[in-house]
């Protein structure tokens, strides 16, 4: 994954997102939610993204060099500006 700008402190860093699937016991669900998070090394605040994939479908791990453009940022909702 390429470098990104922290939405909290607006400093650049190289992310290494941790990813996990939110499991559900609802059989009728068509999609699973995948969360990705990292902590900015500059300000120490969380950055959280999510996406939905087909139930039991594949998703990229936090260290995969796939871009985050197809993910939705959940936290922080707004980006700080300098």
In a domain, 55, yes or no: yes
pTM here is 0.78
6 contacts 47 by C-beta, under 8 angstroms: yes
In a domain, 80, yes or no: no
Query: Residue 35 has what DSSP assignment?
Result: E
Number of other CB atoms surrounding residue 28 within 10 Å:
6
In a domain, 81, yes or no: no
In a domain, 27, yes or no: yes
Residue 19: give the domain boundaries: 4-75
Domain count, the chain: 1
In a domain, 82, yes or no: no
Quickly tell me which residue has 């559900």 as its tokens.
Answer: 24
Distance spanning both ends of the chain, measured CA to CA: 24
17 contacts 38 by C-beta, under 8 angstroms: yes
Residue-by-residue pLDDT tens, the chain, 82 positions: 668 899 999 999 988 888 888 877 777 778 888 889 999 999 999 999 988 887 766 666 544 535 677 788 899 988 776 5
Q: How far apart are CA 60 and CA 11, in angstroms?
A: 25
């Amino acid at each position: 994954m390429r470098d990104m700008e922290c939405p909290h402190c607006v400093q650049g860093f190289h992310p290494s997102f941790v990813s996990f699937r939110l499991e559900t016991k609802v059989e009728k669900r068509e999609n699973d939610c995948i969360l990705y998070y990292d902590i900015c090394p500059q300000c120490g605040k969380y950055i959280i993204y999510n996406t939905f994939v087909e139930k039991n479908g594949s998703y990229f791990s936090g260290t995969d060099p796939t871009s985050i453009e197809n993910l939705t940022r959940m936290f922080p909702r707004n980006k700080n500006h300098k």
